[in-house]
Structure 1
Amino acid sequence: MESSTQLVILAGLIIGLVYGAVGLLSGFCLMSSMRGWLAGGDGRLVRTYALAIAVAIAASQLLAGSRMVDLGKSIYLQQSFSAPVLFLGGLLFGYGMVLSNGCGSRALVLLGRGNLRSFVVVIVLAMAAQMTLKGLIAPARIALVQASQATMSANSLPSLLATLGLGDAVSRALAAALLVVALILFAFAHPAFRRSPGQVAAGLVVGLLVAGGWFVTGYLGADDFNPVPVTSLTFIAPIADALQYVMLSTGLTLNFGIATVAGVFAGSLITALATGRFHLEGYSSPRHMLRSAGGAALMGIGGVMAFGCSVGQGLTGVSTLALGSFIALAGILLGTTAGLRGSLRVQPLAVA
């Protein structure tokens, strides 16, 4: 294994360790954020998520603007993409997230704390994602994409602004600045959030971790002879790859995503043990398990269709300012809202 690849894997493990610890201590999770916000209760978590997006955009665009990282090499900034499939995938993921009571990254964090429900979520999510990537569901997904994809002259907010006659640098700076300022104002307009240094710190750290992932894979991993895919924090495909690696390690190689998944679990476990938060939890009923597994399957399928999850698209994808990422995030938010409010609302179950 080349030294640059080893460095990327080690950095991915460290990024995962930090994310796992922060996720456990702060409760960082889009579904929990939306639940608290829509219920009119604790609105701090949604501000944490907004701050994380703002920091991720600012830091990632700074890396791109300085030409340290070419975000155009990521999966998000493609000229051809299917907006309907991205949106539908987001809807499925968002609704599945409510059924499973958390996203893939949250399931890894809770698993480290001893939540055995999350073990089922992780396994089913990985299986469904692999089926959608390369298995039984893959032909249907590919057919949908081919039937609905379009080639876009502008595939990001900066390139969209550039069509108005603005230069590339000005377009990038203007698009990033508008979003960052709006998100920061939204976050700090909430008095309770301003009085929560832990939540503020969590938003800052998670946002910087996204940029850190871009730096590691796009700069440290830049090797003409052994290139590393340019990526950052995302959890659907990496969880699927991690499960496959556990089963078939002799035929596979470690990568940034697998190392990150391992790091998130380990970071949460270490933090839970150190703070006395580790305790075993299970399902309250067979119905509870069925609903949780069903939600995990929807997250696996939808996450692959959407090219990411609430972190992979909601933070990492959006940090590239890709139009497809905003479409996928809109689907995720709408799917989550449908699961929390209205006629499709998922009714709460007692948890053991």
Structure 2
Amino acid sequence: MNELITAFWPYYLIIFALAVIFGFTAQRSAFCPVGGLREWVNERRAGRLATYFGAIAVAILFAALVEGFGWFNLSQTIPPYRTTEFAWGRYILGGFIFGFGMVLAAGCGMRNLVRVGQGSIKAVWLVMIMALVAYLMTRTSFYAEWVMPWISPLSLQFTDSGAQDFASLVMGQTESLSTWRMVLGVIIGGALFILLLRLKEFRQLYPLMTAFVIGGVIVGAYALTGGSYAQFVQEEGYFMDIPPAGLGTQSFTFAAPMGDVVHWLSEPQWALVSFGVIAVFGLVVGSLIAAVSFKQFKLEGFASSQDFWRSSLGAVMVGFGAVLAMGCSIGHGLSGMATLALGSMVALAAILTGAYVGIRFDSRTR
């Protein structure tokens, strides 16, 4: 334990700080993709949804620039967003289930973790369900025995392009691929941000700040885990009997990491304290700091027995769908979109479609 803390405490501390910033900002801005979509569908208010897409635009733009200057390489991330395997069945089905489920659960994993920091007992219960389902899917034989046999054929390989990011699909395996990734990333991210600026609700201080902070945190995590310091950390890990888990280029996602928290709690040791585990706790702490500082901490429970069962079902769908899709509204929606991976684009579209259907279903059954 002392060996790990001595060698990696700056690494752990920076991850925790980034997660706290994420949680603090998400709590203050009510950052929530499904909440934003619900406001747009029901009230035609686009502010929160635009903020979510603004964070995506900033993440794409900053990631393209930083990767273009050679500070990190997003072709070997955890999870592998740019993999040659285009698992379209997982992206579409898992994304839709996740999107529908987060409507019933009143938010994705990130939003419910933020609510835990605000004092929601309901969110504590829902996060526990999401975490247990994610653990079932990632740490037991359930996925391999019951899900993989029918979902694995629903995929194809991008062997000619060598990767599934937008630049690779358009340009192929060319020597100037890194340049094209930067150019296309700047164009796509910049164009999306400029398009969003046409919305008056987005051209406000708080939405703009939220987009820049959260988008910047996503890229900051990639810079930490994929930069020169990360290489030092990995080299140090090679000489340890039990190296820390989950080293590699990665950014924020909250589905599988909640399952990692369950795994760590079942076998508490420093080697299992991964990026995702720290991110989960850091997000809650950041939200707690914001809620207490601005006097928004309040213990809340379920509104009714119907709310309990509906939300619990939604939490099961969120945990299952996120792992099936290999990402959530933060994993694919921000971290994956920053790599311009086609799979993340398809998964995000499926998530939003599932959420839209869920919102319509929710409005008719309440």
Q: Which moved more, 1:101-110 or 1:138-147?
A: 138-147
Shift in alpha-carbon separation, 1:92–1:17, aligned structure 2, 3 A? same
Residue number in structure 2 paired with 1:150: 156
Where has structure 1 moved over 6 Å in runs of 4 or more? none
**In the alignment, structure 1 residue 23 sits paired with structure 2 residue 42:** no
Contact 1:14 1:260 (8 Å CA) reproduced: no
| 1:175 aligns with one of 184, 187, 191 | 184
Mapped partners of 1:348, 1:119: distance in 2: 25
Mapped partners of 2:157, 2:9: distance in 1: 36
Q: Which amino acid aligns with 2:147?
A: R
| 1:82 aligns with one of 81, 87, 90 | 87
Residue number in structure 1 paired with 2:259: 240
Q: Which moved more, 1:70-79 or 1:143-152?
A: 143-152
The 3-state SS of whatever aligns with 2:152 is: helix
CA deviations over 1:249-274 (Å, ceiling 9, x no partner): 13852111111111110111111111
* Aligned length, in residue pairs: 346
Q: Which amino acid aligns with 1:53?
A: I
The 3-state SS of whatever aligns with 1:148 is: coil
Residue number in structure 2 paired with 1:103: 108
The offset of 1:135, in angstroms, is 2.5
Q: Structure 1: 5+ residue runs without aligned partners?
A: none
Q: State the identity as a percent.
A: 29
The offset of 1:123, in angstroms, is 0.3
Contact 2:135 2:262 (8 Å CA) reproduced: no
Residue number in structure 1 paired with 2:194: 185
The 3-state SS of whatever aligns with 1:249 is: coil
| 1:61 aligns with one of 42, 57, 64 | 64
TM-score, length basis structure 2: 0.89
Contact 2:85 2:156 (8 Å CA) reproduced: yes
Residue number in structure 2 paired with 1:120: 125
Superposition map of 1:1-352 within 5 A: 1=4, 5-74=8-77, 75-135=80-140, 137-139=142-144, 140-152=146-158, 153-154=160-161, 155-163=164-172, 167-194=176-203, 196-219=204-227, 220-222=229-231, 223-226=234-237, 228-250=247-269, 253-341=272-360, 344-345=361-362, 347=364
TM-score, length basis structure 1: 0.93
Contact 1:4 1:221 (8 Å CA) reproduced: no
Q: Structure 2: 5+ residue runs without aligned partners?
A: 239-246
CA deviations over 1:113-133 (Å, ceiling 9, x no partner): 011111111000011111112
Contact 1:81 1:145 (8 Å CA) reproduced: no
